[in-house]
Amino acid sequence: MTANRVPTQPSPPAIEVRVCETCHRTLPALDKDEYTPARARLVAASGFCVCRPGEREGTAPIPERSPSLL
């Protein structure tokens, strides 16, 4: 006889993978917690976002020159 066990703790919330609104590919990870099996599967299936940084919604453009170190 087996006992049916009901989990007493709630399941962890589903972590959504951030994707580009333009090309619908995976965006670069911003935090180590974003590296999940679901993200790995999506990267393997569709690849990374190849949009230029200024073209994506809500991102800052790359500056033309870097700051002076002097």
Give 20-45 pLDDT, tens digit per residue: 888 889 998 888 888 999 999 999 99
Q: Specify if 41 maps to a domain.
A: yes
Q: Specify if 61 maps to a domain.
A: no
Dist. CA 62–CA 45, nearest whole Å: 28
Dist. CA 48–CA 33, nearest whole Å: 17
Q: Specify if 33 maps to a domain.
A: yes
Q: Specify if 10 maps to a domain.
A: no
Q: Specify if 48 maps to a domain.
A: yes
Q: The tokens of 49 are what? A: 């976002």
Q: Given this model, what pLDDT does residue 65 score?
A: 73
Q: Specify if 46 maps to a domain.
A: yes
- What is the mean predicted confidence (pLDDT) over 36-57? 82
Q: Cα-flanking dihedrals φ and ψ of residue 26, to 5°?
A: -70, 130
Specify the number of domains making up the chain: 1
* Greatest extent of the chain over all pairs of C-alpha atoms, in Å: 76
Range of the domain at 31: 16-54
Q: Specify if 23 maps to a domain.
A: yes
Percentages (nearest 5) of helix, strand, coil residues in the chain: 20, 5, 75
How many residues appear in the chain? 70
Query: Average pLDDT over the chain, rounded to whole?
Result: 76
